[in-house]
Structure 1
Amino acid sequence: MATPSGRSVLFVCLGNICRSPIAEAVFRKMATDNGAVDKWRIDSAATSTYEIGNPPDHRGQACMKRHGVSMRHVARQVTKDDFMTFDHILCMDESNLRDLNKKASSVKNSKAKIELLGSYDPEKQLIIQDPYYGSDKDFETVYEQCVRCCRAFLEQHS
């Protein structure tokens, strides 16, 4: 269900254990710090079934802990209902975007605006690369991109 003010955002990546839970946690902290968290429904999900039920990647959790951002999430897959109840679905790369648009086309009452989270990046880095096979530095890069993008998204939609 969308919040009474109609503000809701779902962050999406392939497995929902790296990029999207980082974006969700970053956005939730920003909305909390701005006193706006009660006006938002915030969640994250996966396009795949690979990691359903798993916690966020331990490297992502460590990165968030270093930045003082709490993270509590269990991976789930995007559902048809998400397209009808979320205002914004923000994904990390072109593959996610294709998968989401394909899924949305089979949902009769889809209302969600599907975009790349990177489209909000003031530094114009459109794609947020998957850090899963990378290093701690790659998780830090994802965090920094999410901070920039979420800040711009929140400012634009507050």
Structure 2
Amino acid sequence: MRALYSGVPTIPYLRFCHHSPPTILSLESPFVIHLPPKQYPSRSSNSPLLQRHRQRPTIAASMASAPSTTEPETEIKPFSVLFVCLGNICRSPAAEGVFIDLVKKRGLDSKFKIDSAGTINYHEGNEADPRMRAAAKRRGIMITSISRQIQPSDFIDFDLILAMDKTNKDDILGALERWKFRETLPADAHKKVRLMCSYCKKHDETEVPDPYYGGPQGFEKVLDLLEDACESLLESISAENT
């Protein structure tokens, strides 16, 4: 369920750690391929305008061979959630894994788009921290995400962006303000950014602590908080979108 993304400029003003500065990524522009129109034999009984109109493809609601006058069903867009921490190797991939596991158990796979990212690109392309993956696996949760950096299009593609701590949230919002000068982003994009622990019901913590430099208990604590928050998060999304 991981979202595709293209490389984007690194955010030099965001905080970074883990001993190495971020790198510059390139931004590629999308392209459109125009195919030549099909040639149909003309009919003298029809005007050229009507003939061109009949050449346009018809979208049918079913796969029956006979023409259908039924309007195609409107496709419901999955609710999209992006989890964000600093390097995208501990907390946010764990949050992604926990939420995916919860959604699958309730048979809601098709109704959600779930991904994670970091505010820096130091671990770009790497798997999650093996200690985090091991701790999650003991709980029956698989973490398969590959680290990437948050990008401007995330504010368009995702309905909700959850930061693991206040610093992550400030960095996300700071990047958003700078991106607005060169990107076409929703005016209310900042409203999508919330703290992960704001959904916790069983714990009083306001932030998910970074376990990177700690011991095994730090990873267990992260999972405890994420399981609590994800349960409430799913209930909240389901209630708001019923």
TM-score range for the pair, normalised by the shorter chain length: over 0.9
Query: Which residue in 1 is equivalent to 2:46?
Result: none
SS of structure 1 residue aligned to 2:148 = coil
Query: Which residue in 2 is equivalent to 1:114?
Result: 193
Give the structure-2-normalised TM-score. Answer: 0.62
* CA shift digits 1:109-156 (9 cap, x unpaired): 234610000110112311000000001110000001000001100011
Asked if 2 retains the 8 angstrom alpha-carbon contact of 1:26 and 1:69, the reply is yes
Q: Please tell me the residue identity of whatever aligns with 2:185.
A: N
Asked if 2 retains the 8 angstrom alpha-carbon contact of 1:6 and 1:87, the reply is no
Q: Please tell me the residue identity of whatever aligns with 2:219.
A: F
Query: Which residue in 2 is equivalent to 1:138?
Result: 218
- Measure how far apart 1:50 and its partner are: 1.3
Asked if 1 retains the 8 angstrom alpha-carbon contact of 2:78 and 2:110, the reply is no
Q: Following the alignment from structure 1 to structure 2, what is the Cα–Cα distance between the partners of residues 149 and 91?
A: 12
- Hey, which bits of structure 1, 4+ residues long, moved more than 4 A? none
Structure 2 residue aligned with 1:147, among 214, 217, 227?
Answer: 227
Q: Following the alignment from structure 1 to structure 2, what is the Cα–Cα distance between the partners of residues 29 and 6?
A: 16
Give the structure-1-normalised TM-score. Answer: 0.94
Asked if 2 retains the 8 angstrom alpha-carbon contact of 1:8 and 1:42, the reply is yes
Q: Please tell me the residue identity of whatever aligns with 2:236.
A: Q
Q: Following the alignment from structure 2 to structure 1, what is the Cα–Cα distance between the partners of residues 204 and 80?
A: 24
Higher helix share: 1
Q: Please tell me the residue identity of whatever aligns with 2:216.
A: D
Gaps of 5+ in 2: 4-74
Asked if 1 retains the 8 angstrom alpha-carbon contact of 2:82 and 2:160, the reply is yes
Q: Please tell me the residue identity of whatever aligns with 1:4.
A: I
SS of structure 2 residue aligned to 1:80 = coil
Residues 1:47 and 2:119 aligned together: yes
Residues 1:94 and 2:94 aligned together: no
Q: Please tell me the residue identity of whatever aligns with 2:225.
A: Q
SS of structure 2 residue aligned to 1:132 = coil
Asked if 2 retains the 8 angstrom alpha-carbon contact of 1:9 and 1:43, the reply is yes
Q: Please tell me the residue identity of whatever aligns with 1:116.
A: L
Question: How many aligned residue pairs are there?
Answer: 157
SS of structure 1 residue aligned to 2:122 = coil
Query: Which residue in 2 is equivalent to 1:63?
Result: 135
Q: Please tell me the residue identity of whatever aligns with 2:139.
A: H
Gaps of 5+ in 1: none
Query: Which residue in 1 is equivalent to 2:94?
Result: 22
Query: Which residue in 2 is equivalent to 1:125?
Result: 205
SS of structure 1 residue aligned to 2:83 = strand
- Measure how far apart 1:6 and its partner are: 4.4
Q: Following the alignment from structure 1 to structure 2, what is the Cα–Cα distance between the partners of residues 149 and 117?
A: 7
SS of structure 1 residue aligned to 2:153 = helix
Q: Following the alignment from structure 1 to structure 2, what is the Cα–Cα distance between the partners of residues 103 and 6?
A: 26
Paired-residue identity, %: 39
Higher strand share: 1
